[in-house]
Amino acid sequence: MLDTPACALLADAQEGLNRPQKTLSPKWFYDARGSALFEQITRLPEYYPTRTEAAILRTDALRLAGLVPPGGALVELGSGASVKTRTLLDAGGHFGAYVPIDISEEFLLETAAHLRARYPYLPVHPVVGDFTQAVILPEAIVDQPKVGFFPGSTIGNLDPGEAVALLARARVWPGITRFVLGADLVKEQGDLIAAYDDAAGVTAAFNRNVLHRLNREVGADFDVPVFRHEARWCEDPARIEMHLVATRAQVVHLAGQDIHFAEGESIHTESCRKYTRRTLATLAAQAGWRLEDMLTDPRDRFAVAILTV
Ligand SMILES: C[S@@+](CC[C@H](N)C(=O)[O-])C[C@H]1O[C@@H](n2cnc3c(N)ncnc32)[C@H](O)[C@@H]1O
């Protein structure tokens, strides 16, 4: 008998692996091992997004922390290890609560425990949830003013329609006043490919983790080393795509079904959309937000957009 997340994983895999271009959603990268691998990625020399966004947040920490009204809640989507959040909490905001929302349950609950130890005065209400669907906010913060926070360029993993829908749902959270959104900007192709195909092979292990999950959690029999990690640049819309490419033909068994792979056939596992100032402003407007400001680094590699209702 599969538990609920495993049922959802199986249903998604059955649907995605039967498409002409086989696909798996990037949300399935993140079990405890996937979340730990992502943290390793953030420290890789090639992976500029984390360092660049963290520097922008540090530079403007007082202003960003000040966006949360005294006693208000900071609600973070895809919070991971909440490392960037600490920059805002340490900037001395008088936060009434912190609500980290993430699909990776074990990692989320561990992170919440660390945060409670570090900020004993701060109510932390973790929510295990999928932000591609409506997320139910904790009762405790419903009446509080709140600011949304979505760093990590995770918005880039959503297709354009999903990204608009997510921002539009957040726009009507009761008491929401602002939304702080981190997005990666278009840049030199070589830098982009290197960031998603590091020399140490950590991103490759992160990508393959989804196949290990399918084997372990829903009884598939992927021969994982047969799948090669590949990062591809695609122009329109501007994005990096991550694929797992079968280096030889194989048949994978998934819940009684045969999934055939030809040699060279790939599973598309993630898109990482890269924005320009213009496309980011358009995205915000389509979801009903007003762009109050866009903070960038000196080389315009990454943007932190401040959206207001
Ligand atoms: C790219 S990481 C960013 C982590 C962190 N915010 C940062 O800036 O370093 C994406 C995070 O979003 C979470 N995530 C991915 N898809 C999700 C979904 N559909 N719903 C909720 N969380 C999701 C992952 O577990 C992971 O923690």
CB 151 near ligand 1, within 6 Å: yes
Mean pLDDT value across residues 48-59: 98
Angle between helices 277-286 and 160-171 (to 10 degrees): 50
Dihedral over Cα of 288, 289, 291, 296: its sign: negative
Mean pLDDT value across residues 147-151: 98
* Torsion angle of the four alpha carbons 251, 253, 256, 261, in this order, in degrees rounded to the nearest 10: -40
What residues are paired with 98 via a beta bridge?
74, 124
Q: What are the tokens at 118?
A: 């570090």
Q: Give the count of beta carbons closer than 10 Å to the beta carbon of residue 298.
A: 7
Which atom of ligand 1 is least distant from the CA of 152?
8
Which residue's C-alpha comes closest to atom 8 of ligand 1?
Answer: 152
State how beta strands 250-254 and 239-246 pair.
unpaired
CB 166 near ligand 1, within 6 Å: no
Predicted TM-score (pTM) of this structure: 0.97
CB 93 near ligand 1, within 6 Å: no
CATH superfamily of 48-187+277-308: Vaccinia Virus protein VP39 (3.40.50.150)
pLDDT, position 3: 81
What residues are paired with 294 via a beta bridge?
305
Q: Check pLDDT > 80 for residue 100.
A: yes
CB 111 near ligand 1, within 6 Å: no
pLDDT, position 4: 81
CB 42 near ligand 1, within 6 Å: yes
Which atom of ligand 1 is least distant from the CA of 38?
2
pLDDT, position 173: 97
Q: How far apart are CA 267 and CA 224, in angstroms?
A: 12
pLDDT, position 79: 98
Helix, strand or coil for residue 275?
Answer: strand
C-alpha 250 – ligand 1 centre gap (Å): 31
Q: Where are the domains of the chain?
A: 4-30+189-273, 48-187+277-308
What residues are paired with 275 via a beta bridge?
185
Angle between helices 48-59 and 83-90 (to 10 degrees): 10
User: Percentage of the chain surpassing pLDDT 70?
Assistant: 100
Q: How far apart are CA 17 and CA 247, in angstroms?
A: 17
CB 33 near ligand 1, within 6 Å: no
User: Percentage of the chain surpassing pLDDT 90?
Assistant: 97
Q: How far apart are CA 30 and CA 198, in angstroms?
A: 19
Contact 53, 151 (CB under 8 A): yes
CB 209 near ligand 1, within 6 Å: no
Contact 178, 292 (CB under 8 A): yes
State how beta strands 239-246 and 227-234 pair.
antiparallel
Query: Which tens digit of pLDDT belongs to each residue from 221-280?
Result: 999 999 999 999 999 999 999 999 999 999 999 999 999 999 999 999 999 999 999 999
Per-residue DSSP letter, 18? T
Which residue's C-alpha comes closest to atom 14 of ligand 1?
Answer: 78
Which residue's C-alpha comes closest to atom 11 of ligand 1?
Answer: 78
pLDDT, position 94: 83
Contact 13, 254 (CB under 8 A): yes
Question: Of all residues in the chain, what percent are helix, strand and coil, respectively (each to 5)?
Answer: 40, 25, 35
Query: Which tens digit of pLDDT belongs to each residue from 166-217?
Result: 999 999 999 999 999 999 999 999 999 999 999 999 999 999 999 999 999 9
Q: Any idea which residue has 């691998």 for tokens?
A: 37
C-alpha 62 – ligand 1 centre gap (Å): 24
Which element (helix H / strand E) includes 98? strand 97-102
